A and B are shown apart, each in its own frame.
Chain A
Amino acid sequence: MTPVPFRGGGFAPRDRGWAGAITLLAVVAAWQAGASAGVIPTLFLPAPITIGRTLWHLAISGELWNHLSASLWRLGIGWSLGTICGIGVGLAAGLWSAFRSPIMAVVAALFPIPKIALIPLFIIWFGIGEGSKLATLSLGAFFPTVIATMGGVDNVPRNLIRMGQSFGLSTGAIIRTIILPGALPAILSGFRVTSSIAIVLLVAAEMIGADRGIGAFVLAAGNLYDTDALMAGIVMLSVLGLSVAALIGSLERALLTWR
């Protein structure tokens, strides 16, 4: 008699936050060690400690906040505009036949255009100031939000809508109590995508025509071969991306407790 061999298990990866943190720390430590040992030329890639020191100087001089606040303002306004409009249009496409095909035709035609290519056009339309930057960010957030919202509405179980109808709920009540909460997970997933797109477009737009903002700061540092400041700007962008992702994660946890 032999024991039955175990063939189950596996295929169930789990998140281990500490492993991620240790990996990041190990990369930074190796980078610092390589720079200190002279293996990594610091003229091209400054050491983490140097970047940290530069960030500290930027922070106490007020320059960091000067650039960061301009970027955050553009990101907040541009992304919010695109997202609010995208949710509205996505809901209309998801709910009413009269809007669905026309909206999808426009989305299919315009979504694939790289939004960076539209920045010069927006500068002609809205000027070199904030208008062109906000339009670029809004458009970047708009189309993925439309698609995510419409997909979310499509995936709301039809039996729940029918249940609402069977109890005589008004169209408004069905949208508010059944369709919007049902589509919310998809809309929030869309936020992750659109916030990343918005940060990419933010930097591109600030590199083309701005004297404040992280994109402008990075470009100016590159033009001066100031790699310490350039890397400090890149670290700021990384922290910005992580912070936005954490914010969306918190929003998901707060709004989707029922899952």
Chain B
Amino acid sequence: MTGGLGLTLRGVGHAFGALHVLDGIDLEIEPGRVTVLIGPSGCGKSTLLGIMGGLIAPTTGSVLQAGTPAADCLNPLTYVFQDFALLPWRSVAGNVALPLEAHLPAGPRAERVREVLALTGLSDFAEAWPRQLSGGMRQRVGIARALAVRPACLLMDEPLSALDAQTRALLLDEFADLIARAGTTTVYVTHNLSEAVRLGHAIVVLSRRPGRVREILRIDPEQDRADPALAAVEDQLWSLIRDDAAQAEREMAAR
């Protein structure tokens, strides 16, 4: 759908006051690939995504972007939020149209909205209010809104974590399909090992706070994600983060 954008992180660190969240992150986000960030609670995954998206200023280091977004890209670095971030006073179509309003006149804007609503299976809900939708449908709206701007890089912050298991499984398949078709660079934050293995071409494992890159696992983009062999990758991921996750849990309980 659009040209991919690559990101290079150099020595990225971040602190909230005295709380040191991220430290010395050096990372390459490859264009057109799905990079998954995974790690124990509080390791700074969402903060790192915010830094990549320009929403949080890093305390140290820098993020560089490489490549030129396609001509029709209206917002190169586009977020998908964990809590959907839909405007409750706008209909589904109104929410999807929001980021287009400064760029497209009414006719082409309506056409673009229709197109992405069809792509995400929301055509019948264009005039519905967000409160009338289930969690899964709301996140589809979030995805539709993100796709409407033809992003060069999708930044997805635990987009399925607020949903029930069944909806999560259904949406995960749709995400995988949409991302594969769009060919957009994607950075995907999750706690969920299955999601990481299902979607990721590169899985970046962060250590507990302050988060550092501990390991990067790579999965061949051509590999069938239903391949039972990938269970071994999931096991490997779990063995990498298990001790840190337990320690992070203890630290949170002690706070």
Give A contacts to B, CB under 8 Å.
Answer: 159-160, 162-170, 173, 177-178, 181-182, 184, 256, 258-259
Contacts and interface: CB of A to CB of B under 8 A. Distances in A.
B98 interface: yes
A167 B98 contact: yes
Contacts of A159: 81, 83, 85
A163 B85 contact: yes
A184 B89 CA distance: 10
B78 interface: yes
B194 interface: no
* Chain A to chain B: the 7 pairs with minimum beta-carbon distance, closest first: A167-B99, A163-B85, A166-B79, A258-B89, A181-B89, A159-B85, A258-B129
Contacts of A166: 53, 55, 75, 77-79
Interface residues of B, number: 21
Nearest to A180: B89
A164 B75 CA distance: 11
Nearest to A256: B89
Given A181-B87, A258-B89, A163 B102 contact: no
B101 interface: yes
Contacts of B75: 166-168
Interface string B205-239: 00000000000000000000000000000000000
B152 to A, nearest CB: 13
23 contacts: A159-B81, A159-B83, A162-B55, A163-B81, A164-B98, A166-B77, A167-B78, A167-B98, A167-B99, A168-B75, A168-B102, A169-B98, A170-B102, A173-B102, A177-B87, A177-B101, A181-B87, A181-B89, A256-B89, A258-B88, A258-B89, A258-B90, A258-B129
Where chain B touches its partner, the secondary structure class is loop
A182 B149 CA distance: 24
Nearest to B145: A167
A167 B142 CA distance: 12
B12 to A, nearest CB: 18
Given A162-B55, A163-B79, A258-B131, A169 B99 contact: yes
Among A160, A170, A182, chain B packs the most CB atoms within 10 A around the CB of: A160
Contact of A173 (B55, B101, B149): B101
A169 B89 contact: no
Given A177-B87, A181-B89, A165 B55 contact: yes
